[in-house]
Structure 1
């Protein structure tokens, strides 16, 4: 999966000559955490957040009339993070996650080959992708086994699953463990795994998400 498959777009932005008050209003109205700052050519020049905008005032989110008046005259370019870390749309998601982790940031602007802002990737976007890779948004069975490194490992797993009409929806490697998310009958499949010498660590049932009743 690539960054362009997960990023949010179009991106809500603010111009560098906009005031802090205007930027703060956009953040709160749109309920977003980060706001890229661009010039008239949509080239990225910085990133700001509500924390950046109000951190100079001890009152936090609740600003006095004096503070609000001051922010309404201060350009956002004075209170933004310049030269932000960014990624390309064709970068793999795992690499982007590593960049985010090592840089200790929670969002990554996405720039094209002309350095134009085309998207933004957040920590929540990556978390959603991880949840989806484990198949946690749907019901089924979660089977955890120790990773048995040998030739024909995956073909053997699939053969056992086919034998018992078990559909393997997701396979994720987590260190020395392999997590399988399956649908259908899993009892016989698990039995065959154990019989073949696989160390089955855990078998858990995943309930499907509760349906939201309209009007509730």
Structure 2
């Protein structure tokens, strides 16, 4: 999946000469948490979060003119720069690592040096929900398999014989490097027949692991 498929293209922006109060108003009005700061060519030169604005705003315990004047400072005085950006043709799975490694909550999307969209951590979470299929009624089955070529289609064929629709497949490492874990989310609320088929084929189940072995 590409970034362009999940990014928001209607982006609220400010210029560096805008005030902190301008940012505060936009954050509250549009219920957003980040505002990219752009120049006249719509190039991203900074970004401001709701936390940046909150930290720069006057304390509620003081109401002096000096404190209020802080809101009239230019937004460039508190913006973060330079900004980590992504491209619309980047893979969503890869930018997830950027969110994690950089500990950021928002990534502007840039093409030909111009801002064209934005992706937030909320967008990422929603996308991962879609990719894993947890938004549909389904059953989860975790299978321990040998780590060898061809094992995935081999196990998937067992599901195919039952004509069970596979919603998603995830692959995790196992503590023994000679094995890995296949996590199938399947569109059935009665996984018992396929569980029995997997066990009869010799594949240990890690989940569900509380269902008795079929009697022989």
TM-score (norm. length: structure 2):
0.84
CA RMSD of aligned residues (A): 2.2
Question: Deviation at 1:139?
Answer: 0.5
Task: Kindly provide the CA deviation profile for residues 53-92 of structure 1, in whole angstroms up to 9, marking residues without a partner as x.
Answer: 23145737x8846467314421111110011111111111
- Equivalent residues in 2 for 1:43-62, closer than 5 Å: 43-56=43-56, 59=59
Deviates more, 1:165-174 or 1:148-157: 148-157
**Residues 34 and 107, structure 1, Cα contact 8 Å, conserved in 2:** yes
- Give the structure 2 partner of residue 96 of structure 1: 95
Q: Contact (CA 8 Å) 2:57, 2:70: kept in 1 or not?
A: no
**Residue deviations 1:148-181, cap 9 Å, x none?**
3234322222321122221111111133322111
> C-alpha deviations, 1:115-173, integer Å up to 9, x for none?
10011111122211222222111101111112432343222223211222211111111
SS in 2 for 1:59: coil
Map of 1:116 onto structure 2: 114
Larger deviation, residues 13-22 vs 167-176: 167-176
Aligned partner of 2:166 among 165, 168, 191: 168
1:183 matched to 2:187? The reply is yes
Q: Does the 8 A contact of 2:6 with 2:119 survive in 1?
A: yes
CA distance in 1, matches of 2:58, 2:139: 50
Secondary structure of 1:192's partner? Answer: helix
Moved more, 122-131 or 16-25: 122-131
**Distance in 2 of aligned mates of 1:198 and 1:63:** 67
Stretches of structure 1 that go unaligned for 5 or more consecutive residues are 205-216
Cα distance between partner residues in 2 of 1:58 and 1:73: 11
Tell me, yes or no, if structure 1 residue 87 matches structure 2 residue 91: no
Change (3 A) 1:68 1:25: farther
Within the candidate set 148, 152, 155, 1:154 is matched to 152
Out of 108, 132, 135, the residue aligned to residue 134 of structure 1 is 132
Q: Displacement of 1:202 after TM fit?
A: 0.9
Other-structure match for 2:20:
20
State the Cα deviation string for residues 38-67 of structure 1 (Å, max 9, x = none).
11221111000121123145737x884646
- TM-score under structure 1 normalisation? 0.84
